[in-house]
Amino acid sequence: MNANFLQTPVTYLKGVGPNRAETLQGELGIQTYRDLLNLFPNRYLDKTQYYKVGQLQRSSADVQIMGKITHIKTVEQKKGKRLVATFIDETGKMELVWFRGQKWIRENLKLNTPYVIFGKCNWFNGVFSMPHPEMELLEEHKKGLKVFMQPIYPSTEKLSARGITNRTLSKMIQQVFLETKGNFSETLSESLIHVLKLLDKSDSLLNIHFPKNQELLAKAQFRLKFEELFYIQMQLLIKNMLHKQKIKGFPFDQVGELFNEFYKDHLPFELTGAQKRVIKEIRHDLGSNAQMNRLLQGDVGSGKTIVAVMTMLLAIDNGYQACLMAPTEILANQHYVGIKALLDKIGISCALLTGSVKQSARRPIHEQLESGELKILIGTHALLEDKVKYKNLGLAIIDEQHRFGVAQRSKLWHKNQFPPHILVMTATPIPRTLAMSLYGDLDISVIDELPPGRKPIKTVHRFDSNRLKVFQFIRDEIKKGRQIYVVYPLIQESEALDYKDLMDGYESIARDFPLPDYQISIVHGKMKPADKDYEMERFVRGETQIMVATTVIEVGVNVPNASVMIIESAERFGLSQLHQLRGRVGRGADQSFCILMTSHKLSSEAKTRLETMVRTNDGFEIAEVDLRLRGPGDIMGTQQSGVLNLKIADIVKDNDILKTARYHAIQLLKTDPTLEKPENLVIRHAYAQLVKYKNIWNYIS
């Protein structure tokens, strides 16, 4: 079937028309025959059996019954009315009930005529009743395409209100099959179909909409999921390939004096194997003539900063400048202090530029940047201002990039004649499956081991009833000279309540840890920034032993002496937030602890989260569990909630199919990067169609 025919607007399909077409587009985004074919069912009902009224059980199963309507009545109820019909067969009688659309139903029902009804039965006052049944005249039912398992399509209230029921959608799809004779162009090569034993395209579409049995349905689902994920991976891999061919980077071809001197004489600790591997991957990129576009993932405390510093030194050794951009002032400050301490040893100048740097201090920074005297600039969004001009920016490092939009990143690109090399760092572990789909066009490096000497944080779950023991534990830790965090949830919707919890908690801690023996800091969102900073500073300097806070400390301060993190109402936090908070301790050489406090009332999902935290410190394992619990949209945060708008695949449940798809896409592009071999022309054509009709970009926001 010609692919262009499938681009026909659905208005022209028999049984649709302009009004229905408009509703389909508004509610389900369906504009063409192809969109309708790609509306895949959510689930299936097995309609291979007919029941008698006398056989009905009090179960919640959907059943199919043949019989007749003998009479209809309207029954008044507290709110509005309901329509009730008596339905009988030779074994007994039951009721059919409608709460809406009554006028239309009353006018169209035929008395004493054989019907087939389908739906869920309720047992009420000694009678079975079926609310809003699907109904079909027996003679129509016999004529229809023999469907053994009935597909259930996605729906909305508006669709139902406009009479576009599941049956209507099914009929429209049947109509597409009639007009195309069920004959659809193949979109995968013969070798892929052969190697993976896939159903062909036409059989897959037939068995996804009108499956003959469970086995054919499973084969159709596998084939269509594989195809969807395969083309997404092709798109990402081709984008990466073109990027490397088209966008030339500055070649950093020498590893010079600064890098070598720092590596030999000034490294504060021995690099881990993972850090060495990542630096090698980055050096390979920088020397390759193409612009580097790399994502560096590493858990909190895994040593990403030292990798960033060594990458900056490579830029300076080759005569270029570097910048590092962080999402908050606290984080930018922390990077600046840490990096300056390392670079002072080899006499490299670096400066800090954030919103709160005074105008008078900015002028010399701008001048030294333009002259090339200043080699490294660290800061927040302030780095993107038009006034900030570099002599020759060769490397831009972006920390926690999911907090920066695309427009902001492209501003960095345009600071130069050529775009700088880009290294994106994140401490939010992104599960492998998501990374393959969201950042498949970036090269990915992972630091997956902690520096030597770091002890894993011990995590325990305690109920509120154990609070006295927990307080005693805090006293013992403070006696050893350690510091403690106590964190309360802060969720916009219940801000007043949360604030009350925080203040109640603060007061109870102040009672148990009285002055002058104990000093307590408190930090929350209602404080002025200057007051927050003052309280944070006191804690950092060790003047206070306990920091009571809301989640404002999730990203930021590094206090090596803080060894205990207590998370109150831990059941209200998501997994990634719990993991980030736990990462605030464990910065020093002492054994650190994380105590998750909850009430006894826990949902099963909350139990899973707490058990996961107690069981493992591995951020990637935690991210995988989080992805299973919350799905991809939530993981990436609201600005990327439309992350993967997939038609049939699910990157969590179909993780294995995704890996298979990526593997075959990589192999194919290795052997035939331009898809010119005769056996791959079908893939080239299908890919061109997807790009032409933008279907593939609907997947990735």
Lowest mean pLDDT among 60-69, 86-95, 205-214, 242-251: 242-251
**479-483, 523-527, 553-557, range with the lowest pLDDT:** 553-557
Q: Which helix (DSSP H) or strand (DSSP E) does residue 207 occupy? A: helix 201-209
Q: Are 243 and 236 in contact (CB under 8 A)?
A: no
Q: Is the model more confident about 528 or about 473?
A: 473
In eight-state DSSP terms, residue 451 is: P
Name the DSSP class of 454.
Answer: P
Residue 151's region, left for phi above 0, alpha for psi from -120 to 50, else beta, is beta
Report the pLDDT averaged over residues 146-170. 87
Give me the pLDDT at residue 241, please.
86
Pairwise pLDDT comparison (507 vs 555), residue with the higher score: 507
Q: Are 658 and 607 in contact (CB under 8 A)?
A: no
Mean pLDDT of 453-457: 83
146: confidence class by pLDDT, cuts 50, 70, 90: low
Average pLDDT over the chain reads 87
| CA torsion, ordered 569, 570, 573, 576, to nearest 10 deg | 160
Sorted by where each starts, the structural domains of the chain and their CATH numbers stand as 1-47+147-183 (1.10.150), 65-146 (2.40.50.140), 202-246+657-698 (no CATH), 257-286+303-426 (3.40.50.300), 458-616 (3.40.50.300)
DSSP, residue by residue, 491-559: -GGGHHHHHHHHHHHHHHHHHHS-TTT--EEEE-TTS-HHHHHHHHHHHHTTS-SEEEE-GGGSS----
Is residue 7 predicted with pLDDT exceeding 80? yes
CA distance 373 to 279: 26
* Predicted pLDDT of residue 642: 39
Cα dihedral 501/504/505/508 (nearest 10): -160
- Give the span between the Cα atoms of 671 and 674, in whole angstroms: 9
Note the pLDDT tens digit of each residue in 125-141. Answer: 889 999 999 999 998 88
For residue 451, what are the contacts with CB-CB under 8 A and spacing of at least 6? 269, 272, 301, 302, 303
Give the model's confidence band at 640: pLDDT under 50 very low, under 70 low, under 90 confident, else very high.
Answer: very low
pLDDT higher than 90, residue 455: no
Q: Is the pLDDT of residue 89 over 50?
A: yes
Query: Which pLDDT does position 697 carry in this prediction?
Result: 43
Average pLDDT on 161-167 reads: 90
